[in-house]
Structure 1
Amino acid sequence: MIHPDIQGVTLIGVPTDVGAGSIGARMGPSALRVAGIAQAIRNFGLDVRDSGDLHGPDNPWEPAVDGFRHLPEVVRWNELLHDAVFAELDSGRLPIVLGGDHCLGIGSISAVARHCRAAGRKLRVLWLDAHADFNTAALTPTGNVHGMPVACLCGHGPEALTHIGGHVPALSPADIRQIGIRSVDEGEKRFVHEAGIEVFDMRYIDEMGMRHTMEQALLDLDEHTHLHVSLDVDFLDPDIAPGVGTTVRGGPNYREAQLCMEMIADTGRLASLDVVELNPALDVRNQTAQLAVDLIESLFGKSTLMRR
């Protein structure tokens, strides 16, 4: 279920892989459309508008400069996305960002945070990902900005990215819950602990189960909370979701992922969503996009039985 104040849903395609280490995520929005994302959401009786794709700079595919790859291009895409997401939120709609790589979380979530500050709402961000994405230029082994969005949102990064949205930091680490994490660089681990981000990694999920994990991640939500879900498709185990550039074995299986989405839906607080890192060039017959749409249906309230 979605936040009761939402007037409709807007799809925003962001066809870029400037922040990634492999080419192909630029085709993600098309794959999600082919998999039927718009109709799947319309089936819940919601007004769904597809705003088409944003148009930003091409991927120059160059090496890192001063610890960042493609920084000017990453900045421009995120500025465009920030403005698009903020406009939809301002008109009472739920934006769904169709990525594109996860560097786009900077533009998307900085807009959500700006909207929440203006509306006097609390913000909870669920970061569903195999990676913590808390790297900096000093820590990153690659310079790929899709490994840095959480750090940038928390104020650690180049000014051109941390200042998108006009407030630094855009987020407090206390606003974030990371779920499904299982691949973190050594220096990044220390930085995540220093920042105090609440992380439910795969060992926690193995030991405690997805139900308990989600109960903890969703604790203290109330009617004044805006819930944002940032779904990196590599959150899922690659056995069921091969179409990503950064696969890490040992992620949530189909039922665990469904339970995660259903429990988010049960809160009735979902108000914005990113779906990122889908790489159709690495997929098998669009199965990862189809699975993503299946999970989004559960986020919007699909369940096995009608619940009273």
Structure 2
Amino acid sequence: MADQLIRATAAEGGIRAVGVITTRLTEEARQRHKLSYVATAALGRTMSGGLLLASSMKREGSRVNIRVRGEGPLGGILIDAGLDGTVRGYVDNPGVELPPNEQGKLDVGKAVGPDGYLYVVRDVGYGYPYSSTVELVSGEIGDDIAHYLATSEQTPSALVIGVFVGAEGVTAAGGILIQVMPKAARDEALVQTLEGRIAKLAGFTPLLQAGKTLPEIFEQLLGDMDLVILPEVQMVRFHCGCSFDRVLGALKMLGEAELQDMIEKDNGAEATCHFCGEVYQASSDELAQLIEDLRTESV
């Protein structure tokens, strides 16, 4: 099934639901960054969470940054997701691997570490970005993002995200976000019913592996609550806006002396994009042209 995001409402608009499949883009991230099993799961969950958060934004060009900083061996995680369905990200220590946890699953919580912080920055396309910081709840990513929503945005939310990665790579990844709006939150029976159904889910990736589509998952959870699945199906993908021209622009900012030093000592320059792992090579001639441009601009 293609990577995609769909939206739905239920309870006459009192419940908002978003589902996303990120299998292919998580596999692309795994290959680009040469991620271990547990690093793949951690980054994949965070990218899915970022896309789900970005889906509620309104203005074209809006983006969400999520940084996870725990005390575990994985180090930090940083992702950038947009309302347009693009996402990118990386982890500090992509090769870290840990034994499975007591449930036999990838131990993302231990890799990230339960002690630390989740930072969220929402850039709505104008003015100053909105930023918020919350303490990590478990390091499992899903719990931590749900805690952020409840704490910083005062929206009761259930977030189920997952990544299944094996010897052949990522075979299932994505998640579902269900939010209860204020008018529905007053209906205790509805909230309890919804909580019970979510609690019974074995996870998100088992549903995908069983052949369930996003509409079928919505139907399972919300089908008797006046479910309305919105018609738009949005494609999502791993995408980084880096380019050779941007690399040259960054190198130019180093100044003439530093550029000349690179020419003399390294016969050029190499730059690697943290977000996508793309490697760019600038020759000594290209650096010399940057120096010439700087001299022309200073006249």
Q: Which has the larger radius of gyration?
A: 2
Which one has a larger percent helix, Structure 1 or Structure 2? Answer: 1
TM exceeds 0.5?
no
TM bin, normalised by shorter chain, reads: under 0.3
Q: What is the TM-score normalised by the length of structure 1? A: 0.25
